[in-house]
Structure 1
């Protein structure tokens, strides 16, 4: 009679405990990404040009 999928998974985990531990330790070593103030402003779009509607339907850059 075949084992259930759950039983097969438990058996596989017992055989590969070392591999599972190594994978968990690798995830812990991830460092948070550090961004400079200029990079954050660039992502927010602060330095992007701003356009306004002018006379005659033209677009002008306002600062």
Structure 2
């Protein structure tokens, strides 16, 4: 029984190290602005409930 416990502990340790690695995606400033939607027109509700562009 001790053998199984020690093997499980080793397996858990190995799995933890594998899970910690993450890939970081590098985005340019233009890509970030496009994702956030800062280059798009904005609309507000005008009189009568109509949408109007600012």
Q: Deviations over 1:5-63 (max 9, x none)?
A: xxxxxxx7533122112211112321323222122102221111123567x8754444x
* Match for residue 16 of structure 1 among 8, 26, 32: 8
Task: Show structure 1 runs of 5+ residues with no match.
Answer: 1-11
Q: Between Structure 1 and Structure 2, whose CA radius of gyration is higher?
A: 1
Task: Show structure 2 runs of 5+ residues with no match.
Answer: none
Please give the root-mean-square deviation of Cα atoms over the aligned residues, in Å: 2.9
Q: How many residues align?
A: 52
Counterpart for residue 43 of structure 2 = 51
Specify which structure has the bigger relative contact order, considering alpha-carbon pairs within 8 angstroms and separated by 6 or more residues. 2
